[in-house]
Amino acid sequence: MPASRLWVVDVYGRVFSLSTAGQQWEQCRDAQMEFKRVTAAQQCCWGIACDNNIYLNVHASDLPIRYQEETYENQRWNPIGGFSDHLLPSDRWQWSDITGLKHQPLDSFELPSSSWDWEGDWYVDENFEGEPTEKEGWTYAIDFPAFYTKNKKMTSCVRRRRWLRYRRYKDMDTWAKIPSPQMETPDPFGDISCGGWEISEEPRGRLSLWAVSLLGKVWFREGIYHHNPEGSMWEEVSSPGEVLQISCGPRDLVWAVLWEGQLIVRQGITRDCTKGTSWVEVESPSPDVGATHVAVGINTVWALTKDNKVWFRRGVDSHNPCGLGWISMVGEMITINAGLNDQVFAIGCEDRAVYIRQGVTTSELSGKTWKAISVPRDRDRSHSSASTNSLQSAGCFFSGEVRAQSVVSDVELDTEKASTDGASCLVTSTSPESVVDAPTDHSDQPIETPKPRIPKVTSDSFISELISDREPAKTLREGGSAGPAVPEEEETLLSEGEVKDPCADVALCPSQSGGPLDPQWSNVDLEEAQGHLAQTGTALDLADTSSLSSVATYTLAMEDPYGTDEHPLWAWVSGGGCSVDSHSHLNWFNSMNTSSLVGSVQSMSLSVTPAQTAAWRRQIFEQLSERTKREMDNFKHYEQAIEQSVWVKKGTMQWWRDWKPYKWMDVHFALEQFSGPEGNKDGILFIYYNFYEEKKYLHAFVNELTILVPVLNESKHTFAIYTPERTKQRFPIRLAAATELEMHDWLALLSVSCCHSRGIQGPPSKQAIWSITCKGDIFVSEPSPALEAMPYPTPCDQMFWRQVGGHLRMVECNTVGIVWGIGYDHTAWVYTGGYGGGFFQGLASSTDNIYTQTDVKSVYIYENQRWNPLEGFTNRGLPTDRYMWSDASGLHECTKTNMKPPSTQWTWVSDWAIDYSVSGGTDKEGWQYAADFPVSYHGRKGKTDFVRRRRWARKCKLTTTGPWQEIPPLALSDVTILPCTAQSNVDEVPLWAISNKGDVLCRLGVTTLTPTGSSWLHVGTDQPFKSISIGAASQVWAIARDGSAFYRGSVSPQSPAGDCWYHIPSPSKQKLKQVSVGRTSVLTVDENGNLWYRQGVTPSYPQGSSWEHISNNVRKVSVGPLDQVWIIADKVQGSHSLSCGTVCHRLGVHPVEPKGISWDYGIGGGWDHITVRGNSMEPPHVRLPSLTDASASAPRSPLPFRNMEVNSSAGDS
């Protein structure tokens, strides 16, 4: 997952954040006001300032927030003047929305707030359903409203055209005030909470924002989503009483605390009703002590009572939001918050430190123990190296030289504590003339100073607590324990990683003798603090005594209330945008000061002189030389006893017999590997089985194996072994191990043996061909120069593929070795140069450049129903119908209870939820209707619709390792890299991508040394895109989501984003879905599986002239830097059945015949993606044999491509 942030507010109202990849608190520099509390999501943070107004901080991103405003201009035809603005009285407005019911002239559109700017002026949209319109964007119809077409007909009496204008949100990474008219919110806010971004697959960026006013009323912010981060309006939600605090989880959990201490739960929250319908009261954790705070996550609820005790609610989920009962937990906290993945954060009652709950998993939501987050603030780190010297020079450690009169005569002395701390402490009163020096001898008279009173933060505003501390009658509260009250067994963990600075608890304390208060507690009202200084008459005129210059730190304390080594005091925490789970590696638990650690290392290094280092090296070298002579040189005259080494690994497995009767058989499996005197290795596989009580065996040479593939099987741990002959037959050797660990051991061993026999080691080359299976496994193949040779290329079925660790949905590469990948969760990854990972260990994997990789994908099942006249739609179907709970095909029964993750490596991370993002649309309940099973489905019920279905989705997560490093923070759906030739010298490699929302992006700063690049450049579009490709000479082609093609003009190194898009007409009656561009060739695949070639592409006319059909049954296409064409094909004929997802190579591609001649079939099926954009090896020049040469062997004849009937004729444009 991308790096996320934990947000906190200190007792002075300053906002800080801590990145999951960072090691220090970073202050929000833009905050000119003081905040009471914040609530965070991954893309933004909301806060309530001390003026009781709500502010929004949208995190900066390379992808801008743009909103499209649209309005329609309507005209009617009359016999006199033709089309005009004079409409009939019953017609719609001249300027209206798409329905015609709302009047929308161009001058009626205004910016929602000062945080928005217009990108440009209004312009006409000249694109209609993926095709360009004629005559200034007009579309025609018989009447309003009707079906519109781009062509004018004799019956066209009305017309309309769409006007567009974009506005952009500009206030990024800054606190922008949310406009709130007094009529909406008559009283100011006191609490706020955001969530709801995972309610039934809501669109990304949609949030639910709940707020509580100071009068106890509950408010809900309408219309918050990615293109409108501020929302539209506040709506009051009735409540059974005055609400004190509210908490909203990522899904449909909303809890609130009443002033009397009771808890209420919001029910009826759905995708169509995000506000819910009613409240249900839940008892307080303690009958005698009411609740003060509640925090909810996905399936967790935590609460705090007035005595600061922590409680956990068991049995909470979407089906039972009220839970079953309360469990008392360890610790005393003042505030608590649940973040992503149900992770919990809290602030300690006594020390005001931020704590994280460790051990939180899906099976143990309550976690195990609290651990304090101990990292410095950004200013602490910058000043830590000079803090000690500056304090000494300022006179903080006098060592008996200067001693002022002490004003803390009632301070207790604790010899034991002082000896434990082992450092001197300075107590400075608020009177500038009073300075107390700590004794030089730590064992004689150590001094323990009373801690200043920390204002207690509950659900009330902590600002009032701070102001109340200014009263002279207030006395100091004695310091409590250094953390939450925990049992003895957890005390060690709470203090783990914390080295207490003895001076941290002594920060400039208020005097107990009635002197003025320390201004560090008064920055809520700086004018009042300055007034106190003026009344005391302290001009800080101490320049005449250099030893008393330490009082100068008194003025600095007003700017930074904490001392250099003092722990900050936190008042509020929000983890809604912090993604932490049990696999996360955090650097939040520093056990010592960084500067002291560096100093100790430097002191250690200075103790070793260069002369000593040279002597040690000499001694070690001599010892190694003596050992070599003793063990090797003295035995050279002996003859070699064993010329070849042979070893055998045996095991028992199950083998799928590939002849009738087909069944699994118990077999003995053996790998015999041998090595010659020159180090060359080879081996043989043996499968021993019984056939009619006769022992038989199969064998295969290791150097003939082409690929080892894990097979997705629900009941067995299966993998497949391919050879060239079995690749032609589409029927590999299938073996099943007893356990998944045993299967992975065999796969790793066989893979290493295959690589040794072929002399392959280390990471893939820059010319490697990358492919991905439908299971997400990554494979690479090292191409030979003869792979593209004419007329005798290397057959595809002889290519050797080896697996690379990781899990991806697609991968893209180029010749200079830059490789990017995209996971199923749209996370972008870059190849680090390593090899192995996953189940590859030891020699099969590199020791560096291997990182943890996660991926999340959804598992789908379908609920099917049939209509009957008595009951309507029910789950009782006909005997010939599909299962009422099934997969997409309806052939396999899949229910919520028996459906399992794809493998044991995947774990569920969500509950089953209705999926509304189904092709064809759904109704409000997620149903799709059809006349019968299976036909085309639609989202509205018709009179002839007798069956319906809806799709349920559940997310699962995979955690593995591989040579991949994450590229935050944008989620991508497609990526393309310029396919450089082998001789090209490109300093900065162009890389284009499409976000999961359809925005086009250009990556800047991508080089071979920094393949991740530096930043994204947004390229404007009028509609979302889904596929993009860049070819030689910076040709950028893209496919929009409506199936239309576009070409980007004027793309060059000087203008990496180009200037404009040119619309390219699609093939007749076809919607394109993918494009790939090579050196001179442009090929696309449409939604019906047809492969098209763009004719007429020249440097002077790069848009080309027309489309020519090549083949069908194509899933993906990849065009290389030499115009090589490779595809993933479906329905390839084999010896046993049709194979889906087969790697195929186009033969006969050359400049004279760029479309090629025929197909050569490679590995398959089960493949989903391939890229050859890194293979720029020029094929060798082969001399054609003479026609009269009888000895010349006939060229290999590829299998004919047995396709379905071609859908379109060649030359359609």
DSSP codes of every residue in 905-924: TEEE-S--EEE---TT---T
- Highest averaged pLDDT of the listed ranges 375-389, 558-572, 857-871: 857-871
State residue 515's pLDDT score.
41
- Residue 528: pLDDT band (50, 70, 90) is very low
Question: Measuring CA to CA, how many Å separate 141 from each of 82, 149, 888, 1148?
Answer: 15, 7, 38, 49
Q: Which residue is associated with the tokens 């909303």? A: 254
Q: Which residue is associated with the tokens 């509390």? A: 37
Lowest pLDDT segment from 115-124, 285-294, 381-390, 572-581: 381-390
State residue 408's pLDDT score.
35
* Residue 905 predicted with pLDDT over 50: yes
* Residue 216 predicted with pLDDT over 80: yes
Rounded-to-integer distance, Cα 576 and Cα 44, Å: 10
Which of these, 87, 77, 27, 85, lies nearest to 57 by C-alpha position?
A: 27
- Cβ–Cβ < 8 Å for 14, 29: no
pLDDT tens column, 961-972? 999 999 988 899
Rounded-to-integer distance, Cα 694 and Cα 81, Å: 96
- Of residues 710 and 496, more confidence is placed in 710
Lowest pLDDT segment from 484-498, 589-603, 861-875: 484-498
Rounded-to-integer distance, Cα 47 and Cα 574, Å: 10
pLDDT tens column, 232-280? 889 999 999 999 999 999 988 999 999 999 999 999 888 888 899 999 9
| Strands lying side by side in the sheet with 208-213 | 189-195, 208-213, 218-222, 233-237
Rounded-to-integer distance, Cα 369 and Cα 495, Å: 12
* Residue 420 predicted with pLDDT over 70: no
- How many other CB atoms are found less than 10 A from the CB of residue 424? 20
Q: Which residue is associated with the tokens 């300027």? A: 95
- Kindly state the average pLDDT of the residues 280-303: 92
H or E segment and range at residue 753: helix 740-758
State residue 218's pLDDT score.
95
Which of these, 419, 411, 552, 569, lies nearest to 504 by C-alpha position?
A: 569
Which of these, 687, 905, 705, lies nearest to 802 by C-alpha position?
A: 705
Rounded-to-integer distance, Cα 618 and Cα 435, Å: 58
Rounded-to-integer distance, Cα 224 and Cα 697, Å: 66
Cβ burial of 378 (10 Å; 0-12, 13-18, 19+) is middle
The conformation of residue 374, written as its DSSP 8-state character, comes to B
* Residue 706 predicted with pLDDT over 60: yes
State residue 239's pLDDT score.
93
- Please tell me the pTM assigned to this model: 0.71
* Residue 946 predicted with pLDDT over 80: yes
Long-range CB pairs of 349-352 (<8 Å, 24+ gap) are 349/308, 349/480, 349/484, 349/485, 350/454, 350/480, 350/481, 350/482, 350/483, 350/484, 351/481, 351/482, 351/483, 351/567, 352/11, 352/454, 352/567, 352/568, 352/569, 352/570, 352/571
Long-range CB pairs of 651-655 (<8 Å, 24+ gap) are 651/737, 651/742, 651/746, 652/738, 653/735, 653/736, 653/737, 653/738, 654/716, 654/735, 654/736, 655/687, 655/689, 655/733, 655/734, 655/735, 655/736
Rounded-to-integer distance, Cα 70 and Cα 1165, Å: 46
| Residues comprising the chain, all counted | 1213
Query: Under the phi-then-psi rule, with left for phi > 0, alpha for psi from -120 to 50, and beta for the rest, what region is 971?
Result: beta
Paired tokens of 107: 């001058």
- Residue 1183: pLDDT band (50, 70, 90) is low
- Cβ–Cβ < 8 Å for 814, 1173: yes
With vertex at residue 1212, the alpha carbon angle to CA 1208 and CA 1213, rounded to the nearest 5 degrees, is 140
- Of residues 46 and 1069, more confidence is placed in 46
- Residue 434: pLDDT band (50, 70, 90) is very low
- Residue 202: pLDDT band (50, 70, 90) is low
- Kindly state the average pLDDT of the residues 407-413: 35
- Of residues 838 and 781, more confidence is placed in 781
Which of these, 1039, 1118, 1179, 1126, lies nearest to 814 by C-alpha position?
A: 1118
H or E segment and range at residue 123: strand 123-124
Which of these, 58, 62, 54, lies nearest to 43 by C-alpha position?
A: 58
Average pLDDT for the chain: 79
- Residue 610: pLDDT band (50, 70, 90) is confident
* Residue 309 predicted with pLDDT over 80: yes
Would you call 704 helix, strand, or coil by DSSP? helix
State residue 688's pLDDT score.
92
Angle separating helix axes 594-606 and 378-393, nearest 10 degrees: 60
All residues at 6 or more sequence positions from 480 whose CB lies less than 8 Å from its CB, including other chains: 349, 350, 451
* Residue 1193 predicted with pLDDT over 50: no
* Residue 416 predicted with pLDDT over 50: no
- How many other CB atoms are found less than 10 A from the CB of residue 603? 9
- Kindly state the average pLDDT of the residues 772-791: 90
State residue 517's pLDDT score.
38
* Residue 485 predicted with pLDDT over 90: no
State residue 186's pLDDT score.
66
State residue 611's pLDDT score.
76
Rounded-to-integer distance, Cα 424 and Cα 388, Å: 12
With vertex at residue 131, the alpha carbon angle to CA 126 and CA 134, rounded to the nearest 5 degrees, is 50
- Kindly state the average pLDDT of the residues 802-809: 93
- Kindly state the average pLDDT of the residues 822-836: 93
* Residue 50 predicted with pLDDT over 80: yes
Paired tokens of 918: 């189904």
